[in-house]
Amino acid sequence: MTEGLPDPRIPAGPLADAWRRTREGLPLISPLRKGQMDVLVVGTGLAGASAAATLAQQGYRVTVLSFHDSPRRAHSVAAQGGINAARSVAVDGDSVSRLFADTLKGGDFRAREAGCQRLAEISSGIIDQCVAQGVPFAREYGGSLATRSFGGALVSRTFYARGQTGQQLLYGAYQALMRQVELGRVQLLTRRDVLELITVDGVARGVVARHLLSGELEVHTARTVLLCTGGYSNVYFLSTNALKSNTSAIWRAHRKGALFANPCFTQIHPTCIPSGDVFQSKLTLMSESLRNDGRVWLPKNPGESRQPDAIPEAERDYFLERLYPTYGNMTPRDVASRRARELCNAGRGVGPGGRSVYLDLTDAIRAEGKDAIAARYGNLMTMYERISGDDPYKKPMRIYPAPHYTMGGLWVDYHLMSSIPGLFVLGEANYSEHGANRLGASALMQGLADGYFIAPSTVTAWLAGNPAQDVATDHPACREALETTRRRISQLINSAGNTPVDGFHRELGSVMIDRCGISRHADGLREGLEQVKTLEKRFEAEVRVPGETSGPNAELEKALRVKDFFGLAQLMLRDALAREESCGAHFREEHQSDEGEARRDDVNFAHIAAWGHNTNGEPIRYSEPLQFTALQPSTRSYK
């Protein structure tokens, strides 16, 4: 239903200059007045660090909470391949309209076209900003910025810094942030875990955080709150995310009233190092950029036992090139992942358990030489060899799909504000431009667009139109949030069970990857929902959390995160069950073409599903209809 859904504030008129018109119409605040207003930013990845630095530069008093001991450890540092931008180059003639169309089509027409257009328009400015900060992008011999291709595009628009693009972009945002810390405009508080959102009269005014070293619960208040806490792929236990990446901040906001949009839209990345054994706790990404020079293949014969170099060309199946001759190995992630999984399930996989496909750089090394490939991907090649023990210059990499990114997140309007007034959500934590499938190299683009360019304008507009008094830390709403958090912690610490938290998390991940992973079907989703409910009850009765509430307690941290993952997992399963279509990374087996491709239902599901928390019953599903004017939905084909 649409009744009860906030106004998404999509600008009227032509798309091409919608953001410019919106920005120019937003109210402003004088620099002197900004210096009297507190802004709270949670998270120090690309979205959080860039937003905090920019808001502080504008004059606000900014408090930043980071889970880590340094903002440089935020998970944005792990992004490898590059950042997209529509900067015309002579060789392919890319444009803003092409990036807009690729983004909207890549998301299978399940995103707002106004957001996709704005992202494409801002993208060029992001590169200028980062170059000015000294980010060491790769360059051609003549000095111009180098680019490479990523999945879902026929042009070369991805700017990169070898295989460390996220790290270098984060260092740029970090130095901008630390400059503001040095100037006294930002108070940076590290090792804080946000466990509850504080609302006063329905408006977001602060958070409760636990100090990870002392165990003390703290209250932080401000005029507005920005959540920049990343995605929730760790609901699957094994993912490419950092071990401590979690959903707690956005999940607690959801339980306070923030709508959660399309939680089942989760991306399985096709190029990851396969799991080694059942006790592994994390998976490692191999950048999609490797598919520029690497060819993905499998032996044609099931059960092949020969080494890859002993298999002749005639007995190899370069299946992405065969199935998708136009895009070849650069097909989007959701498509490439499904095809790899299907072939492995058919007995064609290689490696232990037949759960791998080959990513082979042999032809590129033969054509350009080892040094040229090392210059592009050297750190990735080193990482692969250290983990697998195989030299990727001599032997094809073994890769397999793994949970990586979440397109779903808290619902936000065009101004990046959630359904809770005063609560802004940036980066991967929100549901915005990526629809049902994110294109490679667009995550960094979105995070920096939100932080450097969009939120600084829209947050100011909100504050200008909503004057309010400061909230003291002993306000009744703060005391209530503190007490709620203490009760949650006490229940976990006092549990009389004997099972470690990781055991439950691993079981939850197994259910989710099986029932709500690369493919889904109705019976499996219903069974998965009952399995998660049963597992959550067992968790509450049988979990063991050793240690005390005071001081460091890693097991308590994990228990709090996993408890929230149980609630999120159930919402993901409900969302996947309710969306009776296949679109992007949401592949319902009942809804596919004869060729095994996703079959959308634009009549009934061309909308954003936004779920509201219901304390006394099942969550409420709202829908925001999607309107298309510049590009009409069409069957997504990469052949």
A 10 A CB-CB count for 639 gives 10
Given this model, what pLDDT does residue 90 score? Answer: 57
Q: How far apart are CA 138 and CA 499, in angstroms?
A: 49
Residue pair 432/420 in contact by the 8 Å Cβ criterion: no
Given this model, what pLDDT does residue 2 score? Answer: 60
Query: Is 547 a residue whose pLDDT tops 80?
Result: yes
**Domains of the chain (ranges, CATH numbers):** 18-265+407-465 (3.50.50.60), 269-403 (3.90.700.10), 476-606 (1.20.58.100)
Q: How far apart are CA 203 and CA 422, in angstroms?
A: 6
pLDDT, tens only, 458-504: 999 999 999 999 999 999 999 999 999 999 999 999 999 999 999 99
Residue among 244, 198, 242, 234 at smallest CA distance from 217? 198
pLDDT level of residue 91 (50, 70, 90 thresholds):
low
Residue pair 130/169 in contact by the 8 Å Cβ criterion: yes
For the whole model, what pTM was predicted? 0.96
Rg of the chain, C-alpha, whole Å: 24
pLDDT level of residue 608 (50, 70, 90 thresholds):
very high
Could you tell me the two tokens for 437? 């499938």
pLDDT, tens only, 152-207: 888 899 999 988 999 999 999 999 999 999 999 999 999 999 999 999 999 999 99
Residue among 290, 261, 632, 326 at smallest CA distance from 440? 290
pLDDT, tens only, 27-58: 999 999 999 999 999 999 999 999 999 999 99
- List strand residue ranges (DSSP E) for 351-470, in order: 357-360, 397-406, 409-411, 423-425, 430-431
What ranges in 30-140 are assigned the alpha helix state H?
A: 31-34, 46-58, 96-106, 113-133
Query: Is 446 a residue whose pLDDT tops 70?
Result: yes
Positions marked catalytic: 333
Given this model, what pLDDT does residue 1 score? Answer: 57
Average pLDDT taken over every residue of the chain: 95
pLDDT, tens only, 413-443: 999 999 999 999 999 999 989 999 999 899 9
3-class SS string, 598-627: ECCCHHHHCEEEEEECCCCCCCEEEEEECC
Q: How far apart are CA 243 and CA 234, in angstroms?
A: 8
